[in-house]
Amino acid sequence: SKTVDMPEIKQIYDLGIRDFGENKPQELARKSQELTDANWHQIGTLQKNKVKYIIDRVRLIHSVDSLSLAQEIDKRAKQLDITINCLLQINISHEESKHGIEEKDVIEFVKNLQQYKNISLIGLMGMAPYESDKEKTRPYFQRMKEIISDVNSKKIYGSELTELSMGMSNDFQIAIEEGATMVRVGTSIFGERTYK
Per the structure, the complete domain to which residue 64 belongs is given by 6-189
Greater confidence, 45 or 189?
Answer: 45
CATH of residue 33: 3.20.20.10
Mean pLDDT of the chain: 93
Fill in the DSSP letter of residue 58. Answer: -
- Whether residue 80 is contained in a domain is answered as yes
Indicate if the pLDDT at residue 196 is higher than 60: no
List of residues 6+ apart from 149 with CB closer than 8 A: none
Residue 125 inside a domain? The answer is yes
- pLDDT value of position 194: 66
Identify whether 1 is part of a domain: no
In a domain, 27, yes or no: yes
Residue 166 falls inside a structural domain: yes
List Cβ neighbours of 77 (8 Å cut-off, separation of 6 or more): 55, 83, 84, 118, 119
Number of domains in the chain: 1
Evaluate if residue 186 carries a pLDDT over 90.
no
